[in-house]
Amino acid sequence: MEKYADIIATVKNQQPVNPPDALTDQVMARLEKVDQSAISKIKRFFLHQQTISPDAVGIFFGHITSCYQCAFLLLMVGFFYLVTGFVTTWGFHDAITGGNINPWLKIQTYITMGSALFILSAAFLIIYRPQATAFIQYAIIVHTFFILINALILESILSFPIALIYVLILSMLAIGFSVLLIGSIRSVLIFRMIH
């Protein structure tokens, strides 16, 4: 504070400035009226320069350094699994309740929702127990192996080409997500070791 004493004294010695009484009216008169039509809102949305949070930029470009960024990524992936589980449950509801279906296919929706709950709980664990981050990394690696084993079992059960393509796409997404999650967790662990 002592090095700013001369600045503080200068500010205290200044004469107060009273703004003109019509200042607010003058400022408001200069503001243009904002068009509230749907077309103008759409134009403003697309033509207005958007800014992204530094955390979001870090996530999308691989500069994950905080547990919160890593947890956000886990929440996004967990939400994807949760939506996939609900959609699959809703779509296969009649087939699951019917008796003429392979039991392994019946439990796929529960496997997907279990994966969602696992990943969502990992996100909260990273936020509230950051010391468990290394454990979560290994748990996600094990989860990835279970996804691969599940995909191989499904491949041996299914005989429809469209179903095989569906399983292949979901398995590739799951593996891609796992690699992304493991990379983000490692990035956080390395950042913590350095700093």
Q: Do 175 and 145 form a contact (C-beta atoms < 8 A)? A: no
Residue 21 resides in a domain = no
Domain with 68, as residue range(s), is 54-194
In the three-class reduction of DSSP (H, G, I as helix; E, B as strand; rest coil), residue 64 is classed as coil
Per the listing, tokens 């296969």 go with 92
Residues 108 and 102: their CA atoms lie apart, in Å, by 11
Averages of pLDDT over each 10 residues, the chain, 195 residues: 82 83 77 65 64 52 73 88 86 70 81 92 89 88 89 81 79 82 81 73
Residue 15 resides in a domain = no
Residue 97 resides in a domain = yes
Number of domains in the chain: 1
Residue 49 resides in a domain = no
Residue 93 resides in a domain = yes
pLDDT of residue 159: 76
pLDDT of residue 118: 94
